[in-house]
Amino acid sequence: MALGHRMQTLAWVGIASLCLGAAWAVPAGKERKKVEKPKPDLVLYENLDLDNYEVTLDNYGDIMDLNNYEELYDYGDLAPKIEVGTLAPRPKDRGALPELATAAPTPKLQPPDTTNPIRPAPPGPGTAQGLPSCLPCLCIRTSVYCDDTDLEHIPPLPPDTTYLYARFNRIGAIRAGDFMGLKKLKRIDLTSNSISWADVDAFRFLPSLQELILPENRLTALPELPRSIVRLDARLNRIPSAGLRPEAFQDLTQLQFLHLSDNQLDYIPAPLPESLRSLHLQNNNIQTMHEDTFCNSQDQSHIRRALEDIRLDGNPINLSLFPNAYFCLPRLPTGHFL
């Protein structure tokens, strides 16, 4: 009897312990959940003025900063990729394809024609076509180059020759027929030859001749010149005043450059054309001049505006002895004033 009562008491004690454990387990679970729940980050909202937060048209740009809107999104991956050289897709219908024509055969390349502008004909009066040869010169279009080819005379030239360069040769004379019929010839350059004589009519009948360049030769006289001449350069020759025809330059109304320095002239070759711009007579034997050499002493209003370059240096002349000879000039001559 006593044993049964004791067993009943222990049973009630066990039941009571289980009830108490369950009662205490619920608050512990709730407390655990409260600890694990993340706390809100209030730092993000410390500077936010929620009392004055009101979006209007006036403050929309201040609240919403759209300046870096495009930087927040990279659209590079969304752009369609285009491959250069990609072929278009074939049509499903084979009949829609155009028929390809048969490829034309590749034409055979022909060797370049070297017969023009260089004429490889032997020296002589003419070629098979009746045209003068360029050998030993080089013809390029209408220009003939005969520099440093040991020429002893002017070679036959094509009839359309416009420019002739025969410098640094051994040409000793210029004959009357050397340039006959060359109506288009504008420039003749015979620098550094051994020319001691030129026929009086060697250049006279060249209607287009503008430049005659004859420095560094042995000329003792100048032939008659065409009226078309613009530039005459006969420096470094042996021409005395007696080698110039009287009034040789007066009628050359196109003449602008007359260069006769380093010769044997005794006086200035007056009268000079009004067209003259440059007169080089340095290193001659000029000792005197007339008052009318450059200016018209009878007309004090006469002015030669074109003649701005006169060189008389290297001559035994005192330019200060002729003060009335320069009143019409824009500049005094270069020379000895003492």
Q: Distance between CA 189 and CA 214 in Å, rounded? A: 6
Answer whether 224's CB lies under 8 Å from 243's CB: no
Confidence at residue 33, expressed as pLDDT on a 0 to 100 scale: 44
How much is the pTM?
A: 0.63
The last residue of a domain, from among 209, 238, 267: 238
Asked whether residue 172 falls in the same domain as residue 257, the answer is: no
Confidence at residue 18, expressed as pLDDT on a 0 to 100 scale: 57
Asked whether residue 137 falls in the same domain as residue 216, the answer is: yes
Asked whether residue 162 falls in the same domain as residue 229, the answer is: yes
Confidence at residue 74, expressed as pLDDT on a 0 to 100 scale: 47
Asked whether residue 277 falls in the same domain as residue 328, the answer is: yes
**What's the order of all strands across the beta sheet hosting 143-145?**
138-140, 143-145, 163-165, 187-189, 211-213, 231-233, 257-259, 278-280, 309-311
Asked whether residue 303 falls in the same domain as residue 324, the answer is: yes
Asked whether residue 225 falls in the same domain as residue 273, the answer is: no
In a domain, 153, yes or no: yes
> In the structure encoding, which two tokens stand for residue 236, read together?
């470094």
Confidence at residue 132, expressed as pLDDT on a 0 to 100 scale: 52
pLDDT digit string (tens) for 296-323? 989 988 899 999 999 999 999 999 999 9
Asked whether residue 267 falls in the same domain as residue 209, the answer is: no
Asked whether residue 257 falls in the same domain as residue 286, the answer is: yes
Confidence at residue 19, expressed as pLDDT on a 0 to 100 scale: 52
If one counts the domains in the chain, the total is 2
Measure CA 48 to chain center.
Answer: 68
Asked whether residue 265 falls in the same domain as residue 233, the answer is: no
In a domain, 225, yes or no: yes
In a domain, 99, yes or no: no
Confidence at residue 319, expressed as pLDDT on a 0 to 100 scale: 96
In a domain, 207, yes or no: yes
In a domain, 112, yes or no: no
Asked whether residue 216 falls in the same domain as residue 256, the answer is: no
- Contacts of residue 145, Cβ cutoff 8 Å, sequence gap at least 6: 137, 138, 139, 165
In a domain, 22, yes or no: no
- Residue numbers in the chain where pLDDT is lower than 70: 1-133
Asked whether residue 216 falls in the same domain as residue 146, the answer is: yes
Q: What is the domain range of residue 323?
A: 248-337
The last residue of a domain, from among 217, 238, 259: 238
Q: How many residues does the chain have?
A: 338
Asked whether residue 301 falls in the same domain as residue 323, the answer is: yes
Confidence at residue 268, expressed as pLDDT on a 0 to 100 scale: 97
The last residue of a domain, from among 238, 265, 287: 238
In a domain, 310, yes or no: yes
Check which CATH number belongs to the domain holding 230 and give it: 3.80.10.10
In a domain, 53, yes or no: no
